[in-house]
Chain A
Amino acid sequence: MSDPMKIRATLQGDTADVRILMLHPMETGQRRDAKGELVPLHFIQSVLITHNGKTVLDAQWSQAVSRNPFLGLRIKGAKAGDKISVTWVDNKGEKRTDEAAVTAS
């Protein structure tokens, strides 16, 4: 099981500023380990972010996204207490979902 994401959603006016930090190795398939063997590809392919159940961002990624990916987005028309849910799926089929509530700044 992977580690939990860090999600922070703060309200600025009527827009929620959402910052997400995922913990994932994001292996490119080009890096070699200590024995000189290629580390196989392992990266997050899709990230789905919902605001009160509605999809606001649907991301598709390649291995070019950095290790422990950061994702920032803004959601218009948000209110304090709104539910933000983030789900990622990687190329090995592992997935993780975490939720957070929008907080007033």
Chain B
Amino acid sequence: MNIVRRSFLKLAGSVGALAAFGAASLLRSAGAWAAWNKAGFESKAFADALKNLGVANPVESRDIAITAPDIAENGAVVPVAVTSKIPGTEQISIIAEKNPFPLAATFDVGNGGEGYVSTRIKMGQTSDIWAVVKAGGKFFTAKKEIKITVGGCG
């Protein structure tokens, strides 16, 4: 009798702990995610995408380097890397000016994450690629034209 009760208590205890852990990790992940910028990602015009990113008075900066090919044969896979040497870089966005939805990606960096991101994006046609960097509440930009041989939207 006593043994049964013991094991029941043990089981109940571990289930409870598990549930508590699950709830805690759920809460933590919910808190950590930045809200997805729906307005920005659904903007169809370059100017609107900038506006919905909250960009005001952007300054062109030579401290931002965009590493990407001059000519990309396949628009479905265009490697783009952005390096920002601006101190206090908080956010890097990549925008393909003539894409149906120009804003491709936004990266929030911090806690030792450096002002560098590298990824691959799709481009519908030859266009300027913009890197928009947010640092200390200000916005800095750089751009680079990439020629596309075959578009990668369809």
A residues lining the B interface (CB < 8 Å): 15, 28, 30-32, 45-46, 48-49, 51, 54-67, 69-78, 87, 89
Q: Are B117 and A55 in contact (CB under 8 A)?
A: no
Contact at A76–B112, with CB atoms within 8 Å? yes
Which residues of B are found within 8 Å of A45, using beta-carbon distances?
36
User: Are the CB atoms of B118 and A76 closer together than 8 Å?
Assistant: no
Residue numbers in B under 8 Å from A57 (CB-CB): 107-109, 113, 117
Q: Give residues 75-111 of B contacting A (CB, 8 Å).
A: 76-79, 81, 96, 99-101, 103-111
- Smallest beta-carbon distance B77→chain A, Å: 5
A49 to B108, CA, bound (A): 10
Q: Is the CB of A64 within 8 A of B99?
A: yes
Main secondary structure of the interface of A (DSSP, over half): strand
**Docked CA distance A57–B33 (Å):** 10
List the count of A-B residue pairs having beta carbons below 8 Å apart: 122
- What separation, in Å, do the CA atoms of A64 and B96 have in the docked complex? 9
List chain B residues, Cβ under 8 A from A46.
Answer: 33-34, 36
- B: contact size bracket: 35 or more
Q: How far is the CB of A52 from chain B (nearest CB, A)?
A: 9
The answer to whether residues A74 and B105 also contact, given A31-B154, A45-B36 and a CB cut-off of 8 A, is: no
Q: Assuming A55-B32, A60-B37, A65-B104, is B120 touching A70 (CB within 8 A)?
A: yes
| Nearest chain B CB to A97 CB, angstrom units | 9
Instruction: Give the distance in Å from the alpha carbon of A56 to the alpha carbon of B117 in the complex.
Output: 12
Among A58, A61, A62, A65, point to the contact of B108 (Cβ < 8 A).
A58
Inter-subunit contact B118/A66 (CB<8 Å): no
**A30-B153 contact given A56-B111, A65-B105, CB 8 Å threshold:** yes
How far is A67 from B154 in the complex, measured between Cα atoms in Å? 12
What residues on A are CB-neighbors of B152 within 8 Å?
Answer: 66
Q: Are B41 and A73 closer than 8 Å at their CB atoms?
A: no
Within the complex, what minimum Cβ distance (angstroms) separates A91 from chain B? Answer: 9
- With A60-B41, A87-B29 already in contact, the answer to whether A72 and B81 are too (CB < 8 A) is yes
